[in-house]
Structure 1
Amino acid sequence: MLHIRLLGDFSLTYRDETVTGINTPRLHSLFAYLLLHRAAPQLRQHVAFVFWPETSEAQARNNLRQVLHQLRYALPDSDRFLHVDARTVGWRSDATFFLDVDEFERALALADTAERADDKRAALERAADLYRADLLPSCYDEWISAERDRLRQRHRQALVRLVDLLEARRDYAQAIHHAQRLVRDEPVDEDAYCRLMRLLALNGDRTGAMRAYQSCVANLQRELEAEPSRTTRELYEGLLRMESRPMRVAARQPATETTPPLVGRGREWERLQAAWLQAVEGSPGFVLVTGEAGIGKSRLAEELLSWADGQSITVARTRSYAAEGQLSLAPAADWLRSDVLRKNLAKLDPVWRTEVSRILPELVSEYPELPPHEPMTEYGQRQRFFEALARAVLAAPQPLLLLIDDLQWCDQETLE
């Protein structure tokens, strides 16, 4: 079997032995051209013009004749692979061989059609492994540029898909590995840097995330004389805010009877992750988990809370009960009494703490100077009360994850 590798440095083996005779850039280029254009025989005249456009036709055809002779001499059993006659030259349609470019595109096709996430991941990882580097990077012939760019873009798209898939599965180490490849291959791609920064932070390496930002700044300045975009700066500023908080890395604990492993919820988990990422990027969101009793809704929510707590994300949770159905804003009061939110109420101006004391009456004892709140008899007073609740919640460190379990028992005011 003839094994051909064109992604990265040219490599050719035949019957497990390295072929060393095809050893010049011109031979590499012509060999690759015939192989990648094997769908139809190529006219000698056309090939000669492609490779020697600035010489006379006679000289170009003579050059082609000499290089073809060298190629046929250096390639073992060349007649099994090359077809050459007076008018055309090409790769034989009945030739048997392995080509990494073909395998790369075949892996991408499998990823496109795979229904199972595991199959999609395997196909994308196969494509990533095959793409050692760009198509014949040492070849500077004009014909190869478009094909090289096409394959490079397909590779980057595959890496992005793979990184997102791995992130959704919380396999951050592997996601980081492929995100680093994205950055390494294109040092001015801000989207790639943002992915890498976020993944490093999720994996508990905030220092590494900030180093990635500094590399992004340096490369943009050196290559483009440009500054990072607003999105990239905001992500970095978020990391700085998180840096001031104690780091908690959630270790994976063995499953127990009280914390069963999350099984069969890969798609739902990916949707939760996607919603959370949108929120972190500046689009506050609401997710409703619905379904029949006993199918694992609370277990899915617990998994998200556990994951978020391990990343030092501010988390507050509450539960509604049937008996509380008429107790106004009970879930909001539970949130505000949680340790992570309660300690930040001191940051509020007294006018807002006064409004919050409507559902947290203990604040009146803690802050005797608070003026008494007035009865809510007007629409404007009601709006001010809800603004106070929003300020109290948003005083907590961001990003923030709030959970209400058993929402069906929640009071109407909380729902509104």
Structure 2
Amino acid sequence: MNGKITYHQQVSYCGKQRCRKCREGIGHGPYWYAYSTENGRTTRTYIGKNPPPGLQVLLESPSPPDNLEPVALRIRTLGQFQLERQSNQEWQTVTDAVWQHQRVRALLACLLSNPGRKLGREQVMDALWPDADIETASSRLDRTVYSLRQLLEPALSRPASSHLLRMEREGLILAEQSKIWVDADAFEALLNQARTIGDPGSREKLLEEASVLYGGDFLPEERSADWIIARRESLQRNWMGLLLELADLRIARDALSTAIDPLDRLLAADPANEAAVQRLIISLAQLDRRGEALRAYHRFTTALQRDYNIAPLPETRSLYEAVQQGDSHAAIALTSQSLSPAEAASLVDRETSTAYKQGYKVQIGRSHQTPLIGRDQELEIMNQLLLASEQGTRTRKKAASLPLDTQRRPQCILLVGEAGIGKTRLAEELSQGALKRGWAVAWSRIYAQESSV
């Protein structure tokens, strides 16, 4: 509406690298601003630390404190990325404009993917802004933290006082499960609880509850961050093991028809899962559904050959032949030879290893690397040390009888220097050269916030 003036209290950020308030996400202020709209154009006018006199009277009237009641939030990460807030005893999906900001979602995703829901500032900046300089990345992080705090607790007058997203010792910490419920954490909690229960009926019930929570891949929209991928794969392995165990419990109590459902779900996600196929063939054969059992085997062998270029295990082949010949007694006898969930995990490792040999490419350092300039001398020295280490490995047996203090071959290279002079880029270049020479290269990062680990 034209001519309408609204007042807002906001925190500002100067963006200076040495500013402690900005670095800790506190910012300056808050300051009051007046927003007015004329002919469709909105302008902002700085008021100051104190509101206009008329507004001050309203603010001084009694009002409840910000945190009179705990904030209730739910975050769904399995098969979707959705934030829900409780209002009038009902859960409502958050559709605020801030939630659509990519960096706000990415920051929350990073925190949810790490143990304890915490990350160091350097880790976050490296993940979200790998190509930006420290000052720029720090300023962007401060603004993103401020926006995420406003999203989590919109009623707070000072987002820096948030209890759901805290800044401690150069690290960001998201509140625990009792304050922010996350489906992935609830899924793992149910699994852990099921593993401690000896009663099959109670364990089956907990596994069923957990299977309902697993709606799909963890944070499916985030496809590149390493720690998100690691959490996604861990949750998926747990889910597959859950389905196998659920099928085993139902087979053990002769509920064969209901055992087929979790096996079908597992094979829909992983058609080459041999443990699931074995159980499915056995269940279908015992239900006198021999044709379906044979077709399940043929679908499995096709997927195994197409995706991994390997053949089924002898036990699976023997199971198929027994069903094909109509020998139900032999099929039942082979039931005890089917893969356990633990053996199924080792089978996944076998398949994964084969896939890696076919097309896996090791990622050294950052995905976006600038050309190495002006470091020819340093790189040559490091390559010479690498060569000397190779030669030392070949003659290690001859030198083993010498005292340690007389073995002067290089054992490690330590790169030191000021921030931003190119240490990481030089290490990337050396690592790529070592990989081509047949070295096993492990690339990782450490941060000051992890010193207590």
Match of 2:35 in 1: none
How well do the aligned residues superpose, as a CA RMSD in angstroms? 2.9
Q: Is 1:11–2:86 an aligned residue pair?
A: no
Q: 1 CA distance for matches of 2:312 and 2:335?
A: 20
Match of 2:218 in 1: 135
Q: 1 CA distance for matches of 2:216 and 2:117?
A: 27
Give the deviation of 1:74 after TM superposition: 3.4
Q: 2 CA distance for matches of 1:48 and 1:67?
A: 11
Match of 2:182 in 1: 99
Q: Tell which deviates more after alignment, 25-34 or 159-168.
A: 25-34
Q: 2 CA distance for matches of 1:188 and 1:280?
A: 15
Give the deviation of 1:52 after TM superposition: 2.7
Q: 2 CA distance for matches of 1:242 and 1:144?
A: 47
CA deviations 1:22-70 (Å, max 9, x no partner) are: 2355433321322344737533222211333343223322332343344
Give the deviation of 1:169 after TM superposition: 0.7
Q: 2 CA distance for matches of 1:240 and 1:195?
A: 16
- Quick one: which amino acid aligns to residue 65 of structure 1? D
Q: 1 CA distance for matches of 2:197 and 2:299?
A: 36
TM-score by length of 2: 0.50
Match of 2:195 in 1: 112
Q: 2 CA distance for matches of 1:73 and 1:51?
A: 20
TM-score by length of 1: 0.55
Task: Give the SS at the match of 1:139.
Answer: coil
Structure 1 residues 124-273: aligned runs within 5 Å: 124-140=207-223, 141-242=225-326
For the structure 1 residues 86 and 19, does the alpha-carbon distance in structure 2 shift closer, same or farther, using more than 3 Å as the test? farther
Q: 2 CA distance for matches of 1:180 and 1:100?
A: 23
The question of whether the paired residues in 1 share the 8 Å contact of 2:111 and 2:117 is answered with: no
Q: 2 CA distance for matches of 1:219 and 1:279?
A: 22
Structure 1 residues 209-358: aligned runs within 5 Å: 209-242=293-326, 277-278=335-336
Aligned residues: 253
Match of 2:165 in 1: 82
Residue 56 of structure 1, aligned match among 119, 133, 147:
133
Match of 1:71 in 2: 148
- Quick one: which amino acid aligns to residue 76 of structure 2? R
- Quick one: which amino acid aligns to residue 218 of structure 2? L
The question of whether the paired residues in 2 share the 8 Å contact of 1:14 and 1:76 is answered with: no
Give the deviation of 1:165 after TM superposition: 0.7
For the structure 1 residues 89 and 49, does the alpha-carbon distance in structure 2 shift closer, same or farther, using more than 3 Å as the test? same
Task: Give the SS at the match of 1:143.
Answer: helix
Task: Give the SS at the match of 1:39.
Answer: helix
Q: 1 CA distance for matches of 2:120 and 2:170?
A: 6
- Quick one: which amino acid aligns to residue 192 of structure 2? A
Q: Share of identical aligned residues, percent?
A: 30
CA deviations 1:245-303 (Å, max 9, x no partner) are: 9xxxxxxxxxxxxxxxxxxxxxxxxxxx997722799xxxxxxxxxxxxxxxxxxxxxx
The question of whether the paired residues in 1 share the 8 Å contact of 2:315 and 2:337 is answered with: no
Q: Is 1:28–2:105 an aligned residue pair?
A: yes
Q: 1 CA distance for matches of 2:111 and 2:274?
A: 37
CA deviations 1:119-147 (Å, max 9, x no partner) are: 01101111111111121122121221222
Q: 1 CA distance for matches of 2:283 and 2:115?
A: 42
Q: 2 CA distance for matches of 1:198 and 1:115?
A: 25
Give the deviation of 1:18 after TM superposition: 0.6
For the structure 1 residues 61 and 95, does the alpha-carbon distance in structure 2 shift closer, same or farther, using more than 3 Å as the test? farther
Q: 2 CA distance for matches of 1:11 and 1:230?
A: 45
For the structure 1 residues 37 and 228, does the alpha-carbon distance in structure 2 shift closer, same or farther, using more than 3 Å as the test? closer
The question of whether the paired residues in 2 share the 8 Å contact of 1:80 and 1:95 is answered with: no
Q: Which has the larger radius of gyration?
A: 1
Give the deviation of 1:90 after TM superposition: 2.1
Match of 1:2 in 2: 73
Give the deviation of 1:189 after TM superposition: 1.7
For the structure 1 residues 9 and 60, does the alpha-carbon distance in structure 2 shift closer, same or farther, using more than 3 Å as the test? same
The question of whether the paired residues in 2 share the 8 Å contact of 1:49 and 1:57 is answered with: no
Task: Give the SS at the match of 2:75.
Answer: strand
Give the deviation of 1:168 after TM superposition: 0.5
Q: 1 CA distance for matches of 2:333 and 2:326?
A: 20
- Quick one: which amino acid aligns to residue 3 of structure 1? R
Q: 1 CA distance for matches of 2:308 and 2:337?
A: 31
Q: 2 CA distance for matches of 1:20 and 1:211?
A: 46
The question of whether the paired residues in 2 share the 8 Å contact of 1:38 and 1:90 is answered with: no
For the structure 1 residues 236 and 12, does the alpha-carbon distance in structure 2 shift closer, same or farther, using more than 3 Å as the test? same
Give the deviation of 1:80 after TM superposition: 4.4
Q: 2 CA distance for matches of 1:219 and 1:39?
A: 38
Query: Which runs of no fewer than 5 residues in structure 2 stay unpaired?
Result: 1-71, 340-453
CA deviations 1:156-206 (Å, max 9, x no partner) are: 222211111110011112211001122122222222211212122222322
Q: 2 CA distance for matches of 1:280 and 1:60?
A: 53
Match of 2:349 in 1: none
Give the deviation of 1:148 after TM superposition: 1.5
Give the deviation of 1:149 after TM superposition: 1.6
Q: 2 CA distance for matches of 1:8 and 1:94?
A: 19
Q: 1 CA distance for matches of 2:228 and 2:264?
A: 26
Q: 2 CA distance for matches of 1:276 and 1:41?
A: 48
